[in-house]
Amino acid sequence: MRLYVLLVVAWVALLAAFGWGGLPAAADRNANCVDLEGLAAQYANGHSVPIGMLRVPLGRCDRNLALIGLAETAVRVGNISDSLLVMDLLQSGSEQLSPNKSEKLQAAQVRSQLAESYLRSKQDQPALAEWAEALEFEPDYLPALLGKGETLGRVGRIQEGAQTLLDAANLYPSDGSVWAALASFYLDDAAEPLVAARYAKVSIILDARNVQALRVLTIFSQSFSRCGDAVQYGERWVQVAPDDYWAWLELANASWSCGEHASASLAYNRFLELAPVDVREQYREYVRARLSPDHQPNAETH
């Protein structure tokens, strides 16, 4: 009898603690998390998101993944400020929740997406800050390493940029995109075309269709009056990226330098067809001058 009474008392105590409807189901215990995960879908459908809800204690729910999903959705719909706020919340909670490897990778991906959004609006310094945040989550995350290195080069921090890209090459020596990024860096930012060409050739060995490497080798060959090589690389470039109007322009320039006037004309016209209006207007006179009979080089001089 005494045991029975004790069991009844224990049951009443549990009901008092959790409510008279019975013990909470898993979904009830994680109600805040369920709501949080639903915010991403709500946000994607154009509804406003009560950001304040993200500040509530979330108990045992998977807060990190929910926040990452919401931040990623915010980036996708172009709301950078919301995404930054959510990622800051993620980082403030990370100290207590210790995100796992998968969550850290996802957070690094979101930070990288934010950096790319800043780059599209030509905001290099905020982009650099986001690359740094991405690497705090995942120090070996390749897109962040490449993005940071390339952006450092663009703002004139050549040594830092080169070191970042070389670190990436040491981590991923068999990835052609790393060597192609180094090639573009040394061609465009460091003004060392010979070094750029060496890295581009490594990239081509690893990935024969790498557009960055083909671009570097096309421009390098042109600048050193190797028009035959430039045409060869340019033709490979347009095969890999037939809608890249810059590829058609560089192929046209190479063909023009080699005295291949018919091929140059076709490539220049293709460039004008594909280029956006502002670029087309900028280059229209240049192309017209190049195609003029009075302005065509003799192939034997190249």
Residue-wise pLDDT tens digits, 149-207: 999 999 999 999 999 999 999 999 999 999 999 999 999 988 899 999 999 999 999 99
> 106, 139, 172: which is the final residue of a domain?
139
CATH number for the domain harbouring residue 275: 1.25.40
* In a shared domain, residues 245 and 120: no
* In a shared domain, residues 130 and 233: no
More confident residue, 104 or 128: 128
Asked if the model's pLDDT at residue 132 lies above 70, the reply is yes
* In a shared domain, residues 131 and 236: no
Q: What is the pLDDT of residues 214-239, one digit of tens each?
A: 999 999 999 999 999 999 999 999 99
* pLDDT value of residue 267: 96
* pLDDT value of residue 184: 94
* pLDDT value of residue 121: 81
Measured distance CA(222)–CA(129) in Å, rounded: 36
Q: What is the pLDDT of residues 151-161, one digit of tens each?
A: 999 999 999 99
More confident residue, 250 or 55: 250
* pLDDT value of residue 105: 83
Is 179 inside a domain boundary? no
Is 125 inside a domain boundary? yes
Is 259 inside a domain boundary? yes
Is 195 inside a domain boundary? no
* In a shared domain, residues 127 and 1: yes
| Contact yes or no for 271/287 (Cβ under 8 A) | yes
* Range(s) of the domain holding residue 134: 1-139
* pLDDT value of residue 162: 93
More confident residue, 190 or 265: 265
Q: What is the pLDDT of residues 4-55, one digit of tens each?
A: 333 333 433 433 433 333 323 333 334 444 444 455 555 555 545 444 444 4
> 118, 139, 160: which is the final residue of a domain?
139
* In a shared domain, residues 244 and 115: no
* pLDDT value of residue 52: 44
Asked if the model's pLDDT at residue 125 lies above 50, the reply is yes
> 87, 117, 139: which is the final residue of a domain?
139
* pLDDT value of residue 55: 42
Query: In total, how many domains does the chain have?
Result: 2
* In a shared domain, residues 13 and 111: yes
Is 186 inside a domain boundary? no
Asked if the model's pLDDT at residue 148 lies above 60, the reply is yes
Is 95 inside a domain boundary? yes
Q: Which two tokens stand for residue 181?
A: 């990024």
Is 200 inside a domain boundary? no
Q: What is the pLDDT of residues 70-111, one digit of tens each?
A: 666 666 666 666 666 666 655 555 444 455 677 788 888 888
Is 85 inside a domain boundary? yes
* In a shared domain, residues 237 and 130: no
